[in-house]
Amino acid sequence: MIKYFLTVLLIPILVFSINAQENDTTLLTKDSSIVFLNITEHLNTIYSEIEIVTEKEFDHLYSVNFLSTLRGKMNGVEVQTGTWGNNASSFFFIRGEKNISSSNQPIIVIDGIPITNQISSTFGFDFGNLANDWNLDDIESVSVLKGGQAASLYGNQAGNGAIIIQTKKAKEKGLHIDFNTSFLASQIADFPEFQNSYGQGSYGQFEYFDGLGGGINDGIDYNWGPPLDIGLMITQFDGPAAGYINGEIVTVRGGDVWAREQAILNGFDSYITPTPWVSHPNNMKDYFKTAMTYANNLGISWVNKYGGIRVSYTNVQADNVSPNSSLTKNTITTNLDYTFFDRLNIFGSINNTILEQSNLIIPGDYNDLNPMAIFPWLGRQVDMNSLKDYWQAGQKDIQFFNYNYSFQPNPWSLAYENRHDMNRNNLFSSYGVKLDVLKGFSINYIGGYNNINSELRIDNNIPNYNNSGKETYDEKNIRHNVFYNFDLKIGKNHFINHFAGFYKNIKEHKKYYTNLPFESSIETVISSKNNDKTTGYYGGLSYSCYNILYSQFTLSKDVFNIIENVKTPIYPALSVGLEFSSLLKVPHIISQLNLHGGYSKVGLNNVPINTFYSNNNQFPTTSQNTLGYVIGFIKNRVSVQGNWYSNMTENSPVVVYVSGVTGYLSTYNNIGKVENKGFEFNLAMVPIITKNISWKSEFTYFKNRNKVVDLGNFAAIINSGSWNVNVQSRVGLPVSNLYGSQFLKDEDQIVFSNGLPRQDNNYAVLGDVNPDYIMYFSNNLNIYKFKISLLLNYSKGGVYYSPFFWMSTTAGSSYHTVDRNRGVVGQGVMWDETSNSYVPNNILVNAKDYYNYMADVDEYAIMDATSLSIDEISISYDFRFMEKFNLTCTLFGTNIYTWAKNHDYNQSNIQFNYNQFYRGINDFSLPSTRTYGLKLKLNI
């Protein structure tokens, strides 16, 4: 039996120890334990509060965003990743939304030190998770503390849970070398569905002259024009024409308007030669490319009888699917652990990452600088490759070439002339000392240092747009942690542990930016600087006896220097576990029977620096009650776990913006009250186990229901939105409901008037953005030296709003607008004066008018978020040669395929808005990508 030590530093150190057979015949053994402050506390008290992902569960994959590889591997935890490039952030939804107006993201701790995981951008960009500055090949384990009983020692930051990341240490005695190389190819996984039977124009008419209305409907960007692919010859933007440049008549394109005008001024004819009016079904696909990623990691470790050291270097070169966008990352990581005189243990880690992101991708939003805002309107006859030469003839650096000059810009010009380059240098270190003063009594210190320097440069060469500028962010974070730990054994079967300590955190950060985008040409220079000092106290007591009863109790308290005369709460946590398989005589088939539960009260994230708290405000807190069970059968080859939880959040912040003369940007009224209730279930099995073949299968199910209990004097709180639809919180309803206009209906049938749909005058609930439940299903099959894995993800229910679908419908671009020749009879009812009742609608109307009326109602663009996806597939083979060499070759794929009820292009429906992440709106983000990769892992 091999023992895997999953070392996870908490405040200040948390270690998990799980026994598992090398061939995975057991899934969870009853001597699994958790260690706070180097003191063993059995997991029997908090089984369901912690999800542990070991290196073996993600080392067969590679991703620049290693947090994204955690998707589907943790019960009760949903992971979504932005689609806007390699450095897009991942978002964690753990047991529901507890905050109304502020972040619901967990705290992230690396090697015992909490880090800043997100940097806010004045320009609205997502700089990515700073946790991804650590390379996947240097990670040993990731543990998620889902509830307050596990995360309680983080006090004010524990309410949304904690993600604990432990980096690799040197383990095996002697000199060892690890080399990992990965090659990945990524493509857009899911494009919108377009019709390709009709091109640009209106009511079947189109001729191009200047793209500004000088021709027939050439100043609009609808696709209600003439039919395609039937042999029509029509003047177009890329058709040949005469132009006059540098005193000569030359052949130019129809869209080279300036050169053609010069020809007319000099007495020449600039008529555009008609060309075939044909469809280009792949014009959106032609804009994107296959993105290549190359990653190389070299690790060298040395271990002797006193300890060991590991040093690694990683280089990553990654393209994005958008043109002219790439990422380069170089990382050096060091981890050491030495013991001297049998009493003094010194340990620590260093990680330094230099990141260069060329042309950071806009997360979303409908504006002229986002290429995704072009595609709903793009003429179905437009050849994207005809737009690549994006300067007009004779007008380089002056005027862009385009198929339409009234609205959208040329998408290639956005990629090459509107640059957003970001550089970041992230230096992190953790260091600690443990002194064993007496047997069972130790004094400990753990410290951390994090220095972040980030710069975003916006260089815009697009005429008539002034949004060039620079934004810099500097942060220094220093943490000190001192505590003592005392173990006492009474007889053979009673164990007591006590610990107590304090921490001090000093955070300094400043921001400097010039020339805000989308504003006037007046130069703007703004800088800000903040200092934040936090002190915390914590302690705990645990008791266990006869391998039957396990209990622990902890307290923590935080004090903030930026809040005066406000009493901060004390955060308690209590958990108890009973091992009935040791207490009672149970059937032989039952190898484990555990019941556990607890109570905790913790805080909800640190106070925002730009926020003003009055003395009347109370700190937001979350109280949680849990009850869970674990049943193991057949020597734990079958394991069943279940957990019920109930959370009540009080004093949830509701944001109110205030005048800048106060010295702050906003104030929070802590008046919200939110309830979350849920159930988590896990079934894990090893159906087959032989010498050369083993099969491990795991099924996970979880659901969460939340509702707003109180909003004080507010009727509703608007948290995010797009166009006329927004996400609101209202008493008695879920925290995140979509609100917007709906159709007027009679017995669930749309009411029509003169053949066109009618709109209800009342603003209505359009649905909850959160899923009803989520299921994961994973399989791992080992056949001799082959390893095969499969991960499926099913999400049931929830809705989201798609402005892209709305606009592509209005434009006549979407697939469902193709049947238009004979008009449309809408499905619904109309009022019949004769019978004085509603009867089936039978009035035929023009398709363009029909779809424009339909799309004007927000309900029409509400999508069912139900989906089934193949998240991961991998196949590995192990080569062993010369006894000391081990080579593992893995082929893998991620985001392989998604089945969905709707026809929208993006199931992630994540919106990045004002430096926060919201679910429920697909706000013109890039489509998600499908990735296939090859990974080679050599161990010497």
Q: 273-315, pLDDT tens digit by residue? A: 999 999 999 999 999 999 999 999 999 999 999 999 999 999 9
Q: With contact defined as beta carbons under 8 Å apart, do 7 and 140 qualify?
A: yes
Q: Are 813 and 923 found together in one domain?
A: no
> For 710-758, what is each residue's pLDDT tens digit?
988 888 888 888 888 999 999 999 999 999 999 999 999 999 999 999 9
Q: With contact defined as beta carbons under 8 Å apart, do 773 and 794 qualify?
A: no
* Length of the chain counted residue by residue: 940
What's the confidence (pLDDT) of residue 122?
Answer: 77
Q: With contact defined as beta carbons under 8 Å apart, do 338 and 345 qualify?
A: yes
User: How many Å apart are CA 423 and CA 527, to the nearest integer?
Assistant: 19
Burial 701-720 (b: 16+ CB within 10 A, else e): bbbbebbbeebeebebbebb
Classify 268 as helix, strand or coil.
coil
* Residue 22 confidence class, pLDDT cut points 50, 70, 90: very low
User: How many Å apart are CA 502 and CA 153, to the nearest integer?
Assistant: 11
What's the confidence (pLDDT) of residue 175?
Answer: 94
Q: Are 763 and 655 found together in one domain?
A: no
Q: Are 597 and 716 found together in one domain?
A: yes
Enclosing H/E stretch for 488: strand 469-490
Give the mean pLDDT of 451-479. Answer: 85
Give the mean pLDDT of 647-674. Answer: 73
What's the confidence (pLDDT) of residue 39?
Answer: 41
In the chain, the number of structural domains is 2
Residue 252 lies in a domain: no
For the chain, give the percent of residues with pLDDT over 70.
89
User: How many Å apart are CA 165 and CA 167, to the nearest integer?
Assistant: 7
Tokens 């899934």, located at residue: 27
Q: With contact defined as beta carbons under 8 Å apart, do 350 and 334 qualify?
A: yes
Is pLDDT at 458 greater than 90 in this prediction?
no
Is pLDDT at 209 greater than 70 in this prediction?
yes
Burial 542-575 (b: 16+ CB within 10 A, else e): bbbeeebbbbbbbbbbbebebbeeeebbebbbbb
Classify 509 as helix, strand or coil.
strand
Distance, C-alpha 144 to centroid of its chain: 16
Q: Are 843 and 880 found together in one domain?
A: no
pTM, 2 dp? 0.90
Q: Which residues pair with 892 in a beta bridge?
A: 874, 933
Give the mean pLDDT of 232-244. Answer: 97
Summary mean pLDDT of the chain? 88
What's the confidence (pLDDT) of residue 470?
Answer: 87
* Residue 663 confidence class, pLDDT cut points 50, 70, 90: low
The parent domain of residue 607 ranges over 14-18+32-188+291-363+418-733+770-800+868-904+918-939
* Residue 513 confidence class, pLDDT cut points 50, 70, 90: confident
Residue 642 lies in a domain: yes
Residue 825 lies in a domain: yes
Residue 412 lies in a domain: no
Is pLDDT at 839 greater than 70 in this prediction?
yes
Residue 407 lies in a domain: no
What's the confidence (pLDDT) of residue 21?
Answer: 34
Is pLDDT at 32 greater than 50 in this prediction?
no
For the chain, give the percent of residues with pLDDT over 90.
67
- Beta strands of 215-258 (E only): which ranges? 233-234, 240-245, 248-253
Q: What is the CATH number of the domain that holds 796?
A: 2.40.170.20
What's the confidence (pLDDT) of residue 5?
Answer: 27
From first CA to last CA, the distance across the chain in angstroms is 23
What's the confidence (pLDDT) of residue 31?
Answer: 35
Q: With contact defined as beta carbons under 8 Å apart, do 154 and 107 qualify?
A: yes
> Which amino acid belongs to residue 258?
W
Per the structure block, which two tokens stand in for 680?
């988590």
Distance, C-alpha 759 to centroid of its chain: 35
Is pLDDT at 469 greater than 90 in this prediction?
no
DSSP state for residue 562 in the 8-state scheme: T
Q: Are 576 and 668 found together in one domain?
A: yes
What's the confidence (pLDDT) of residue 720?
Answer: 81
> Which amino acid belongs to residue 26?
T
Query: Alpha carbon of 135 to those of 171, 315, 429: distances in Å?
Result: 19, 9, 15
Residue 826 lies in a domain: yes
Residue 447 lies in a domain: yes
Query: Alpha carbon of 93 to those of 105, 405, 600, 798, 840: distances in Å?
Result: 7, 43, 19, 14, 44
What's the confidence (pLDDT) of residue 664?
Answer: 53
Is pLDDT at 2 greater than 50 in this prediction?
no
SS3 content of the chain, % helix, strand, coil (to 5): 10, 55, 40
Q: Are 525 and 602 found together in one domain?
A: yes
Q: With contact defined as beta carbons under 8 Å apart, do 677 and 668 qualify?
A: no
What's the confidence (pLDDT) of residue 30?
Answer: 34
What's the confidence (pLDDT) of residue 645?
Answer: 96
The count of other CB atoms within 10 Å of the CB of residue 437 is: 10
Is pLDDT at 335 greater than 80 in this prediction?
yes
Q: With contact defined as beta carbons under 8 Å apart, do 149 and 645 qualify?
A: no
Classify residue 662 as left (phi > 0), alpha (psi -120 to 50) or beta: alpha
Is pLDDT at 684 greater than 90 in this prediction?
yes
Q: With contact defined as beta carbons under 8 Å apart, do 780 and 25 qualify?
A: no
Is pLDDT at 37 greater than 60 in this prediction?
no
Q: Are 55 and 129 found together in one domain?
A: yes
Q: Are 751 and 880 found together in one domain?
A: no
Pick from 327-331, 607-611, 907-911: least confident: 607-611
Name the most confidently modeled range: 58-72, 326-340, 569-583, 615-629: 326-340
What's the confidence (pLDDT) of residue 564?
Answer: 58
Give the mean pLDDT of 158-175. Answer: 91
Is pLDDT at 661 greater than 60 in this prediction?
no
Where is pLDDT greater, at 533 or 911?
A: 533
Residue 413 lies in a domain: no
Pick from 149-158, 651-660, 854-863: least confident: 651-660
Tokens 């090459």, located at residue: 416
> For 786-820, what is each residue's pLDDT tens digit?
999 999 999 999 999 999 999 999 999 999 999 99
Q: Are 69 and 158 found together in one domain?
A: yes
Burial 154-175 (b: 16+ CB within 10 A, else e): bbbbbbbbbbbbbbbbbeeeee
User: How many Å apart are CA 769 and CA 792, to the nearest integer?
Assistant: 21
Q: Are 53 and 71 found together in one domain?
A: yes
Q: Are 450 and 351 found together in one domain?
A: yes
Q: With contact defined as beta carbons under 8 Å apart, do 694 and 26 qualify?
A: no
What's the confidence (pLDDT) of residue 809?
Answer: 96
- Beta strands of 754-866 (E only): which ranges? 756-757, 764-768, 773-783, 786-796, 799-801, 829-832, 837-840, 862-864
Q: Are 581 and 432 found together in one domain?
A: yes
CA-closest candidate to residue 555, choices 42, 158, 43, 16: 158
